[in-house]
């Protein structure tokens, strides 16, 4: 029994939570709405494992939705946070640590990626960084900045891409809304929604058409560097470079959203591993960059970033921005994400992805496993989905029984087929083995699933 575990059950905790919070949660996907079982209430986590209130341990493939890339409660990260806490929880004023984290981001995000100090002559898209507290704030600020820089209002986004929950970015926003089968969100004023033009992903003709029609009014394209919020849907070869070229030809900017992929798929994120080099104007980060605490960032050229207040006319601020505990967690995490750590993550991810594919094949389940670097997800489709429509057309009903079978065997997967699986550097041979051993029974459950009858 974990010393932190309580006398209650997951069912009791969920009941209590629902009486205190809408849906019993503080973020919708946690309610397990689409997987047909009770959410687990966790009390502790260490390395690749999490423990629930009943004292049950699971190998974890959610990883706090990405930040736990070194494994849960990594000793160096915990110590960095403890040391920072002992010196004060925050000052609402500048600290040297913030500058160090900004420098670290600027130095790492280069092509070719290097973990060591970057040389000045490498392609380096980030000269200035602003730290914020959530990915939602990072993309919201990037959009305000793009509008301020161009004097234009329209934003182009791709269906199925998630960029946080700000008003203008919720249209066809992938996993969260897809899981709940919602078209978007109530409460977004129509005039604001009208400023976002949503087009199909991986479709260059759609990008050309929208720019041919509205090019003079478009401030920016925002794109997930490698989409991971509708399951994994890799960009077509050269897609990011092509949309950058189209945007730039029309005087618009490219906002590369690396909140999920940044510092996860490699030391310089997707920017560092995309096979075709390209020039984003602004890049957003979150998740890994905060090491598990609330921290996110945006960066770009000095001339663009210095349009932000206090130097420029684009306002943005935050009471907790650059909080010293979050900065300490982010720095410690990035410091330990060396080539060896990425090699471990890549290797474990490949083993699990291969095993999932084999298990599903052995049971005759129609599926594809799509990968973007060390991120992957399974899709119950005959051919690889390439956009939101093809993602939604899969046999999603096969996932809940698959998910529950894994959970019963002590493996905690993302509670939606529209989410990526997050492997950490702490997923050792034993953890990987445990996942692989659980897959055949889960594949059988997926094979036996029946389509819901239309009502
Ligand atoms: C998670 C995510 C966000 C939003 O970040 P929050 O910290 O949850 O606000 C934005 N963009 C992408 C690509 C994400 O995966």
Residue from 201, 281, 287, 387 carrying the catalytic annotation: 287
Q: Is any ligand 1 atom within 6 A of the Cβ of residue 258?
A: no
* 455 has pLDDT over 90: no
Of the residues 274, 306, 336, the one at which a domain ends: 336
Q: Is any ligand 1 atom within 6 A of the Cβ of residue 286?
A: yes
Q: How far is CA 212 from CA 147, 205, 243, 250, in A?
A: 19, 10, 13, 9
Write down the pLDDT at residue 454: 64
pLDDT, tens digit, for every residue of 212-228? 999 999 999 999 999 99
How big is the chain by its Cα radius of gyration, in Å? 21
| Residue 410 in tokens | 């002590």
* 38 domain residue, yes or no: no
- Report the number of distinct structural domains present in the chain: 2
**Residue nearest to ligand 1 atom 11, measured at CA:** 163
pLDDT band at 141 (very low <50, low <70, confident <90, very high): very high
Please list the residues that pair with 291 across neighbouring strands.
Answer: 293
* 32 domain residue, yes or no: no
Rounded to whole angstroms, how far apart are CA atoms 24 and 428?
33
Q: How far is the CA of 286 from the centre of ligand 1 (A)?
A: 7
* 172 has pLDDT over 90: no
- Between 119 and 453, name the one with better pLDDT: 453
* 399 domain residue, yes or no: yes
Q: How far is CA 360 from the centre of its chain?
A: 25
Write down the pLDDT at residue 170: 83
Q: How far is the CA of 219 from the centre of ligand 1 (A)?
A: 21
Write down the pLDDT at residue 126: 97
Q: Is any ligand 1 atom within 6 A of the Cβ of residue 288?
A: no
Q: What are phi and psi of 12, to 5 degrees?
A: -65, -40
State the sign of the Cα–Cα–Cα–Cα dihedral 329, 331, 335, 338: positive
* 306 has pLDDT over 90: yes
162 is annotated as an active-site residue: yes
258 Cα nearest atom in ligand 1 = 13
131 and 263 in a single domain? The answer is yes
CATH number of the domain within which 382 lies? 3.90.1150.10
**Residue nearest to ligand 1 atom 8, measured at CA:** 135
Q: How far is the CA of 126 from the centre of ligand 1 (A)?
A: 20
State which residues form the domain around 383: 355-420+442-448
Rounded to whole angstroms, how far apart are CA atoms 144 and 168?
11
**Residue nearest to ligand 1 atom 15, measured at CA:** 260
pLDDT band at 307 (very low <50, low <70, confident <90, very high): very high
287 is annotated as an active-site residue: yes
What is this structure's pTM? 0.95
326 and 385 in a single domain? The answer is no
27 Cα nearest atom in ligand 1 = 8
* 203 has pLDDT over 90: yes
229 Cα nearest atom in ligand 1 = 15
Rounded to whole angstroms, how far apart are CA atoms 380 and 347?
24
198 and 241 in a single domain? The answer is yes
Q: What are phi and psi of 301, to 5 degrees?
A: -65, 155
Q: How far is the CA of 263 from the centre of ligand 1 (A)?
A: 14
pLDDT, tens digit, for every residue of 51-80? 999 999 999 999 999 999 999 999 999 999
* 431 domain residue, yes or no: no
* 255 domain residue, yes or no: yes
388 is annotated as an active-site residue: no
132 and 172 in a single domain? The answer is yes
* 338 has pLDDT over 90: yes
pLDDT, tens digit, for every residue of 272-294? 999 999 999 999 999 999 999 99
Residue from 58, 162, 201, 399 carrying the catalytic annotation: 162
Of the residues 305, 336, 367, the one at which a domain ends: 336
Q: Is any ligand 1 atom within 6 A of the Cβ of residue 135?
A: yes
Q: Is any ligand 1 atom within 6 A of the Cβ of residue 223?
A: no
* 6 has pLDDT over 70: no
Q: Is any ligand 1 atom within 6 A of the Cβ of residue 139?
A: yes
**Which among 28, 131, 136 is the best mutation to test ligand 1's pocket, defined by most ligand atoms within 8 Å of the CB?**
136
Residue from 52, 257, 274, 281 carrying the catalytic annotation: 257
Q: Is any ligand 1 atom within 6 A of the Cβ of residue 269?
A: no
């Amino acid at each position: 029994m974990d010393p932190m575990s309580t006398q209650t059950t997951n069912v009791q905790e969920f009941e209590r939570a629902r009486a205190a919070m809408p849906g019993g949660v503080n973020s919708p996907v946690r309610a397990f709405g689409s997987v047909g079982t009770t959410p687990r209430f966790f009390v502790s986590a260490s390395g690749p494992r999490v423990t629930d209130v009943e004292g049950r341990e699971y190998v974890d493939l959610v990883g706090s939705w990405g930040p736990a890339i070194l494994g849960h409660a990594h000793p160096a990260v915990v110590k960095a946070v403890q040391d920072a806490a002992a010196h004060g929880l925050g000052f609402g004023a500048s600290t040297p640590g913030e500058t160090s984290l900004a420098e670290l981001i600027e130095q790492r995000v280069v092509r070719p990626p290097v973990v060591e100090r970057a040389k000045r002559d490498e392609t380096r898209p980030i000269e200035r960084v602003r730290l914020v507290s959530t990915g939602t704030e990072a993309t919201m600020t990037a959009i305000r900045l793009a509008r301020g820089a161009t004097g234009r209002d329209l934003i182009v986004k791709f269906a199925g891409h998630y960029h946080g929950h700000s008003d203008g970015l919720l249209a066809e926003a992938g996993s969260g809304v897809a899981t709940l089968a919602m078209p978007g969100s109530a409460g977004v004023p129509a005039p604001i929604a009208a400023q976002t033009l949503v087009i199909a992903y991986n479709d260059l003709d759609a990008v050309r058409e929208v720019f041919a029609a509205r090019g003079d009014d478009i401030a920016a394209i925002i794109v997930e560097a490698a989409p991971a919020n509708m399951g994994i849907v890799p960009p077509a070869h050269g897609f990011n470079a092509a949309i950058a070229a189209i945007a730039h030809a029309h005087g618009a900017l490219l906002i590369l959203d690396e909140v999920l992929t940044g510092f996860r798929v490699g030391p310089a994120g997707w920017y560092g591993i995309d096979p075709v080099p390209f020039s984003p104007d602004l890049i957003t980060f979150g998740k890994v960059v905060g090491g598990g605490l609330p921290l996110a960032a945006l960066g770009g050229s000095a001339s663009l970033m210095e349009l932000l207040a206090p130097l420029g006319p684009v306002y943005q601020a935050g009471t907790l921005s650059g909080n010293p505990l979050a900065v300490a967690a982010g720095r410690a995490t990035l410091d330990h994400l060396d080539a060896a750590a990425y090699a471990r993550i890549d290797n474990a991810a490949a083993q699990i992805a291969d095993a999932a594919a084999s298990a599903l094949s052995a049971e005759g389940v129609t599926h594809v496993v799509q990968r973007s670097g060390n991120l992957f997800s399974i899709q119950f489709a005959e051919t690889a989905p390439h956009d939101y429509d093809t993602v939604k057309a899969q046999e999603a009903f096969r996932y809940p029984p698959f998910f529950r079978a894994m959970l019963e065997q002590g493996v905690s997967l993302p509670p939606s087929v529209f989410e990526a699986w997050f492997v950490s550097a702490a997923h050792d041979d034993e953890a990987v083995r445990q996942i692989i051993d659980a897959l055949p029974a889960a594949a059988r459950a997926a094979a036996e699933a029946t389509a819901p009858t239309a009502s």
